[in-house]
Homo-oligomer: A and B are copies of this chain.
Amino acid sequence: MHGLYRLTMPATCQRIVLASRPRGTITPENFRLETIVQPAADSLLEGEVLVKNRYLSIDPYMRGRMSAAKSYAPAQQLDQTMVGETAGTVLASRFDGIRPGDQVVGRLGWTEMGVVPGDILRRVDADTIPLSNYLGAVGMPGVTAWYGINVILHAQPGQTLVVSAAAGAVGSVVGQLAKRKGCRVVGIAGGEQKCRYVVEQLGFDGCIDYRQSETLEALQVSLQAAVPDGVDLLFENVGSTIFDASLACLNPHAKIALCGMVAAYYGGAASLVNAGKLLTMRATLQGFIITEHPEIWPQALEELAELVGSGLLQCHETMTDGLASAPMALIGMLQGQNLGKQLIKLSD
């Protein structure tokens, strides 16, 4: 049949790119869902791996990346696949030690499939621990909590620890690890459900619902009542008024792990009125970002996997379905709608 050729429709998959930078609050219009040609197994280069993502991780730091402002990491590029941790199944591999069918954790971003160098993937055992947990308590959020508790705060028995965003992916692990160290743990969270969760399910000694306090003064009074002996250790995820309330309750020589100031994503400047307590209480504060401490990841992950595998560390997940739900899941998480780790489920 001269002159005729066969038209092959290439297989496609979907991804989400950053369409525009937010001004203040993120909106769904900052993102764009795109259909792209599916990467083909037979086009892999030496060392590359083709992964089908099963879970996307939704994390607060993503808000920071969406801005062009200088921060601890380069800004997310416009029109490129949104950054993010992922867990999935290997479809094809030209990397020694990774085979089709392996479960891997990586940073493929908001896409259903992707090709990456094999050396940035981490093979995980999804038989003893659910794959999704490797994005939470046995992943970056868990290691973040572990680093704060063990390296910055050196939590000791009998100390009082306060953690904000207590029901979130990081905070929930912080509190559980601190309890295991023999600390008295009080959380700060938004809403009665979260407070009940961390006390009843996770074993915290108390939890303050910041939504019940309209002013800093009211929040301070509530927190002071919950920590009558003051705060020895503070793991701060939120900043702003919530940070200020904890500062007001600091004990002499208190230690602070400054992990996040998510409140600043909404109110502009991360203003503090009780900064003077850092001096009068001779506090030590350390800001940190866990990707800068790769040396502690192996030990942290090993300990966290053991705790989760043996049921000693709980990791609640808030799961939404489908790639297209990612923007709203991020928006919701920044407003505190999730309980535990926020994930997107792409496939079984």
Q: Residues of A at under 8 Å CB distance from B?
A: 64, 70-72, 239, 243, 252, 258-261, 264, 269-276, 278-289, 292
Contact = CB atoms under 8 A, between A and B. Distances in A.
A141 B269 CA distance: 34
Contacts of A270: 273-276, 279
Contact of A275 (B260, B275, B279): B275
Contacts of A273: 269-271
Given A272-B272, A284-B285, A286-B284, A279 B261 contact: yes
Interface centre among A260, A271, A287 (most CB of B within 10 A): A287
B288 A72 contact: no
B271 A72 contact: no
Contacts of A269: 273-274, 276
A55 to B, nearest CB: 27
Nearest to A281: B287
Contact of A284 (B239, B261, B274, B287): B287
B276 A239 contact: yes
Given A269-B276, A270-B274, A272-B272, 10 more contacts: A239-B276, A259-B279, A261-B279, A270-B279, A271-B271, A272-B275, A278-B287, A282-B289, A284-B285, A285-B286
Nearest to A253: B292
Given A72-B252, A252-B72, A275 B271 contact: yes
A296 to B, nearest CB: 15
**Residue in A243, A252, A279, A283 whose Cβ sees the most chain B Cβ within 10 Å:** A279
A70 B272 CA distance: 19
Contact of A279 (B282, B284, B287): B287
Contacts of A288: 282
Given A252-B72, A258-B278, A283 B272 contact: no
A278 B71 CA distance: 11
Lowest 3 A-B CB distances belong to which pairs? A270-B276, A279-B287, A285-B285
A287 B292 contact: no
Nearest to A286: B284
Contacts of A281: 72, 287
A261 B285 contact: no
Contacts of A289: 282
Contacts of A70: 280
Nearest to A283: B287
A246 to B, nearest CB: 13
Contact of A287 (B72, B272, B280): B280
Contacts of A292: 282
Nearest to A64: B280
Contact of A276 (B261, B274, B279, B285): B261
A279 B261 CA distance: 8
Contacts of A271: 271-273, 275
16 contacts: A64-B280, A71-B280, A72-B252, A239-B276, A243-B275, A259-B279, A260-B279, A261-B279, A269-B276, A270-B274, A270-B276, A271-B271, A272-B275, A278-B287, A282-B292, A285-B285
